Amino acid sequence: MNRDLPILVVEDNDEDFDMLQMTFQGACIPNPLYRCTEGEEALDFLHQRGRYAAVKSAPRPGLILLDLNLAGLDGRQVLEHMKNDGRLKSIPVLVFSTSDNPKDVQSAYANGASGYLLKPVDLARFERMIRLFKEFWLDHIVMPEDDGREVAHG
């Protein structure tokens, strides 16, 4: 259903990304996976500018997995920026973080995140989480048909 939607992962931790990739494979998730390690880079990717100026190199993602603690511009600011941007705000963002600080959870939802996943220190649980993620977000959820133009309000 949503199998061809590009997924953007914003994650600065190589081990975590490594595990994510492996687990995606293990869960047979076919979607193209893109990765940015920093907040600034993620925004460049989304706006297709800088090194992502070529359209092909940075397709509009159908879903974003966002880590909060990033060097430089952090995940919270990336989220805020996206949700304040008419063209980007319809892209579902799942926060994928180690922090269980209630403030982080609160502000993520307040800023329009579609979900908040806690990275567990437990491989089995992690794998299960990814399987459920696939089933829910990639098999059942109806995604917006978004071509990136602002929806006209009338």
Could you list the residues that contact another protein (CB under 8 A)?
Answer: 13, 15-16, 19, 22, 69, 97-99, 101, 103-104, 119-124, 126
- Residue whose CB is less far from another protein, 54 or 121: 121
Residue 40 makes CB contacts below 8 A (sequence gap 6+) with 72, 73
Taking the complex as a whole, how short is the minimal distance between the CB of residue 69 and another protein, in angstroms? 6
- 93: exposed, middle or buried (C-beta count within 10 Å: 0-12, 13-18, 19+)? buried
Q: What is the dihedral of CA 15, 88, 72, 66, to 10 degrees?
A: -30
Between CA 32 and CA 30 the distance in angstroms is 6
Taking the complex as a whole, how short is the minimal distance between the CB of residue 13 and another protein, in angstroms? 6
Between CA 90 and CA 7 the distance in angstroms is 14
- Residue whose CB is less far from another protein, 72 or 120: 120
Closest among 8, 5, 3, 6 to 96, alpha carbons compared: 8
Helix axes of 39-47 and 75-83: crossing angle, nearest 10 degrees: 30
Taking the complex as a whole, how short is the minimal distance between the CB of residue 107 and another protein, in angstroms? 13
Taking the complex as a whole, how short is the minimal distance between the CB of residue 103 and another protein, in angstroms? 8
Pairing state between β 7-10 and 93-97:
unpaired
- Residue whose CB is less far from another protein, 119 or 134: 119
- Residue whose CB is less far from another protein, 46 or 78: 78
- Residue whose CB is less far from another protein, 26 or 50: 26
Taking the complex as a whole, how short is the minimal distance between the CB of residue 106 and another protein, in angstroms? 13
